[in-house]
Amino acid sequence: MSITLDHVNYSYSVGSAYEKHALKDVNLTIKDGEFIGLIGHTGSGKSTLIQHLNGLMKATSGTIYYNGKDIYDNDFNMRELRNKVGLVFQYPEHQLFETTVIKDVSFGPKNQGLSQLEVDLHSYEALKQVGIEEDLIDCSPFELSGGQKRRVAIAGVLAMRPEVLILDEPTAGLDPAGRDEILDQISKLHKERNITVILVSHSMEDVAKYVDRIIVMNKGEVVYSDVPKKVFANYKVLETIGLAAPQVTYVMNGLREQGIMVDTNATTIHEAKEEILKWARREIIEG
């Protein structure tokens, strides 16, 4: 299911002395089944952008199309859009409120008007997808660990069966193990259900490892929209806008500068390892 942004602009406090342009002439198409990384420094427009994708914020000018339909048309079903485009805010566990895990996850599908059987099926499936075991479903969500709370909150959105899942810094505040667990689950979900995923993250390593395309925001504008290798090849430009490439990029470029002829386009540890081994084998054969 595609989302297209056509010359989208958004300004806060229009007409006042505090007017601020948060989005500037944004043109993007998000295709069905993509795994997209959205990056940018604080204040770059990332959060404003994602809140436009399910209609929580309305563009000052420009148009957004969902499956070819203008979401600002008077007869467009905005409630259906929000069911189809699920948004998980940063620190989503702060939104947990029910007395048990299963009640919290069931809240969304219940409000979709589903039968109790459908609510139960969707909720249990969502909890399984995020790795929450059955022995936890009747526990209070507030008794869980930070990582478990995060997964329950994500399950609450998944239970509504969205076609697009937007995650705003889903691993913020988690330890490395918890971060990997959640991103691995999201990656698995993306592959199994072919769901479109938009991941907002400050971790260049995570973005490089998981996503198919990176959208880089700066001062409300799209600077890059391309595959990770091509985006991170411009790491010096990224540095000028307060970003960086994965550490692997700097290591590989450093090796190249020392005369070790490796491909600097490697963006993950696995790719870097393979490239260094390839260079070593060449050296052994030639030397």
> What are the DSSP calls for 41-89, one per residue?
-TTSSHHHHHHHHTTSS--SEEEEEETTEETTSTT--HHHHHHHEEEE-
> What is the number of alpha carbons within 13 Å of residue 194 lying toward its C-beta?
5
Global model pTM greater than 0.85:
yes
**Angle in degrees, CA 146, 149, 98, rounded to 5:** 140
pLDDT of residue 129: 87
| 64 membership: H or E segment, kind and range | strand 61-66
Per-residue pLDDT of the chain (287 residues; tens, 9 = 90+): 699 999 999 998 888 888 889 999 999 999 999 999 999 998 999 999 999 999 999 999 999 999 999 999 999 999 999 999 999 888 877 888 999 999 999 999 999 989 999 999 999 999 998 889 999 999 999 999 888 898 899 999 999 999 999 999 988 888 888 888 889 989 998 998 899 999 999 899 999 999 999 999 999 999 999 999 999 999 999 999 999 999 999 999 999 999 999 999 899 999 999 999 999 998 888 76
Q: What are the structural domain ranges in the chain?
A: 3-224
pLDDT of residue 93: 78
User: Per the structure block, which two tokens stand in for 50?
Assistant: 């994602």
pLDDT of residue 287: 64
Domain 3-224 CATH assignment equals 3.90.1150.10: no
User: How far apart are the C-alpha atoms of 180 and 184, rounded to whole Å?
Assistant: 6
